[in-house]
Structure 1
Amino acid sequence: MAKGRRSAKSSSAGGPGTPATAALDAAGVPYSAHPYEHDPSAPSYGLEAAEVLGISPARVFKTLMVDVSGKLCVAVVPVSGSLDLKATAAAFGAKKAAMADPAAAERRTGYVLGGVSPLGQRQASPTAVDDSALEHATIFVSGGRRGFDIELAPADLVRLTGASVARLRAR
């Protein structure tokens, strides 16, 4: 992934341009775009991406909107596991967290569920990334549409979103 140059699977070669890719381009962050044919009947968007792209589910991260004491926050966790709401609340300095209302999540981010990216959201929200992301040279997150993932260094994701890093996944 060369800086300022997207892979052959980038928006200039058939992949979608999204607010997420625009944010990466504006920051000069290297990434690879990975569009794929999304199956609407797939039970899990993230696991579908891992299978179609031929990568470990531990490297594909889902973006979840959570309500932490009345404030919408972003939790980025591997698709191979589930979100620990108590750990997520603690990561944001609160006692309780719950999954956000889907309509509120879509309004806040500007993305549809199944295509919510942690990057380029309509309104930035406090963000936490699961610590397992740092175990990989690159990870995959939604590029802002169903059937479109972005591969980038986890340190770049943390920096661009201003995220904290903590264990968010269930044990």
Structure 2
Amino acid sequence: MAKRAEPAAGTPATIALTGAGIAFVPRAYDHDPRAAAFGLEAAEKLGVEAERVFKTLLASVDGALVVGIVPVAEQLDLKALAQAVGGKRAEMADPALAERKTGYVLGGISPIGQKTTLPTVLDETAILFESILVSGGRRGFDLELAPDDLLRATGGSYAPIARSR
């Protein structure tokens, strides 16, 4: 079992959820800076099946930033994401731009409490679970919450945006 390290202070994500009255469970773990896949590391260290752990990715759809949230073992289907927001073409966002617009560092980008409110799409497989995990705003810190609550916090929607690796 992974050692549980509680965050010293709230992150923008926990502050936003608390302010909105949305229930969540903070799930901290000791992050290994050598880990190549942050989401898979979270699943392993928290003892949660990878299908319930979701990663937050930013893409540019027709020049506008969009958040796509998919299971950590899957890939973001850029064409499906573009379709989900009524766009034509999508590409992954520049990492520096993603950090600047969200206020989070790569590997710790939470879909909640971002500096700039962006259109958000959650892969529809999230509805298969009572709760899912997403980044809490820094590496080694996830939030467990109901998928519908995640969409309520982000103003997002469900769509089939994941594809197998």
Q: Same fold (TM over 0.5)?
A: yes
| 1:76-115 pair list within 5 angstroms | 76-115=69-108
Q: CA deviation at 1:71?
A: 0.3
Q: CA deviation at 1:151?
A: 0.1
| 1:16-165 pair list within 5 angstroms | 16-165=9-158
Give me the TM-score of the superposition, normalised by structure 1.
0.91
- Which residues of structure 2 form unaligned runs of 5+? none
Q: CA deviation at 1:47?
A: 0.1
Q: Which runs of 4+ in 1 moved over 6 A?
A: none
Q: Deviations over 1:107-149 (max 9, x none)?
A: 1000000000000001110000000011100000000000000
Q: How much identity, in percent, do the aligned residues show?
A: 56
Aligned residues: 160
Give me the TM-score of the superposition, normalised by structure 2.
0.94
* SS of corresponding position for 1:170: strand
- Distance in 2, matches of 1:25 and 1:158, equals 15
Q: CA deviation at 1:14?
A: 2.6
Higher strand share: 2
- Distance in 1, matches of 2:95 and 2:6, equals 29
Q: Deviations over 1:94-119 (max 9, x none)?
A: 11100000011001000000000000
Q: CA deviation at 1:164?
A: 1.4
- Which residues of structure 1 form unaligned runs of 5+? 1-8
- Distance in 1, matches of 2:84 and 2:76, equals 12
- Distance in 2, matches of 1:80 and 1:14, equals 26
- Distance in 2, matches of 1:148 and 1:45, equals 10
Q: CA deviation at 1:80?
A: 1.5
